[in-house]
Amino acid sequence: MDRTDLIDVAFDVLGSGNGREAGNAAVRTVEAVAAPGEEPVAATAGRHPDHFRRGALVLTGHRLLFLKDGKPPLPVALGAATDVTVVRTRINGEVLKVVALTGAHRFEDVVKAEPFAERIRAVAAEARRREAGAAVPAAAPPPADLLDRLERLAALHGAGALTDEEFARTKQRLIG
């Protein structure tokens, strides 16, 4: 499946009458910011809290992109992702939360959120292994790196970007 097919699938999920045109705009946007060797892995539809209408969530081997109406994509680097969860709410449907060392991201009314979250977790683990330069599972981070990650995690928690539960779960994953 090539990039055009994947984005067209995502916009078809959106139910947009001009799915092909929106998909082509999204393809141009993705190709403009794509890293060398970056290929799409999965796509679904969802809504970012800052946007009223739905957009496409496109997962690549390097990051998660939120695309909407040809606007610049909202990227989430997967190598820095520490937690991916799905919660169900009455108002916002299935909510996908991606916590990364660069910040916390929330996507609402996500189509098939749990399977998509599983794909994100798998791709994020692979991205971390790749960034560590190892083809085998990465070893525990060095103490200095671990301290930096814990400090950033505490800052996110202190800023209110993470709940107590998310903070505790992510901290436990980092510590091992």
CATH pick for 3-139 out of 2.30.29.30, 2.120.10.30, 3.40.50.300, 3.30.1490.20 = 2.30.29.30
Does the pTM surpass 0.85? The reply is no
Can you tell me the distance from the alpha carbon of 9 to that of 4, in angstroms, rounded to the nearest whole number? 9
Highest mean pLDDT among 3-7, 23-27, 31-35, 152-156: 152-156
For the chain, the structural domain boundaries read 3-139, 140-176
**Contacts (Cβ under 8 Å, ≥6 apart) of 98:** 64, 76, 81, 83, 84, 104, 105, 106, 107, 120
Backbone angles phi, psi at 170, to 5 degrees: -70, -40
At residue 22, the 3 state secondary structure works out as helix
What percentage of the chain exceeds 70 in pLDDT? 70
Do 96 and 84 touch, CB atoms closer than 8 A? yes
> Would you say residue 97 has pLDDT above 90?
yes
Highest mean pLDDT among 31-35, 76-80, 122-126, 172-176: 122-126
**Contacts (Cβ under 8 Å, ≥6 apart) of 37:** 61
**What's the chain's Rg over C-alpha atoms?**
16
Q: Which residue has the higher pLDDT, 134 or 46?
A: 46
